[in-house]
Amino acid sequence: MTIKKLLFATIPVLMFSFLVAGVVAAQQPTPSDDQVNAIAKQLYCPVCENIPLDVCSTTACAQWRGLIREKLAEGWSEQQIKDYFVEQYGARVLGTPPARGLNWLVYLIPPVAILAGAYVLYHALRSWKRTPLLTNDSSTPGKPQSDVNAVQDEYIQRMEDEVRKR
């Protein structure tokens, strides 16, 4: 076989293989906006203060969302993308801080405060329920009527003495 025949035989095979590779590459699904926003929701804009990456309208954020789309198309996982952004911009870009160092207090303090508040409220309500109020009513539990009248009479007497002094 001559070189000319060999060249004519291999060119169609090469063209066909490039065509098939192009079709396969074109069929690779691009990540949807929902997939990109699901990750961008968990990240905060490193430039703006307290604005999630999925709603930030700056050009930088649009580029970062494009970067997320590229990383997803390359097959990166959600955690790998978050790790990449933390590596580039620090832990402040995460929507939820990692539970290490002093950050674990963010997860511990609210439940402890709620339990402590419930405990204090429970004991306050119990003590209020046990302490009877002094009234003129004869149905005052725990105090005979004569004791109630004696306390009231003593109070009235002291008030009258104070008024006479002036």
Residue 47 in any domain: the answer is: yes
State the average pLDDT for the chain.
77
Is residue 86 domain-resident?
Answer: yes
**Domain assignment of residue 55, given as a range:** 30-96
Give start and end residues of each alpha helix (H) in the chain. 3-27, 33-40, 59-73, 78-89, 104-130, 145-165
Mean pLDDT of 19-25: 55
Residue 11 forms part of a structural domain: no
Q: Are 52 and 41 in contact (CB under 8 A)?
A: yes
Q: Give the orientation angle of helix 78-89 with respect to helix 59-73, to 10 degrees.
A: 140
Q: Is the domain of 149 the same as that of 121?
A: no
Q: Which long-range contacts (CB under 8 A, 24 or more apart) does 14-21 make?
A: none
- The better pLDDT of the pair 43, 28 is held by 43
Q: Tell whether 35 and 92 lie within a shared domain.
A: yes
Mean pLDDT of 91-115: 80
Question: How many domains are there within the chain?
Answer: 3
Instruction: Say whether both 75 and 85 belong to one domain.
Output: yes
Confidence band (pLDDT; 50, 70, 90) for 118?
A: very high
Give me the torsion for CA of 51, 55, 57, 63, rounded to 10°. 100
According to the model, what pLDDT value does residue 129 have? Answer: 80
Verify that 37 and 89 share a domain, yes or no. yes
**92 and 103 belong to one structural domain:** no
- Could you tell me if 115 and 162 lie in one domain? no
Predicted confidence (pLDDT) per residue in 59-88, tens digit: 888 888 899 999 999 888 888 999 998 888
Residues 36 and 91 in one domain: yes
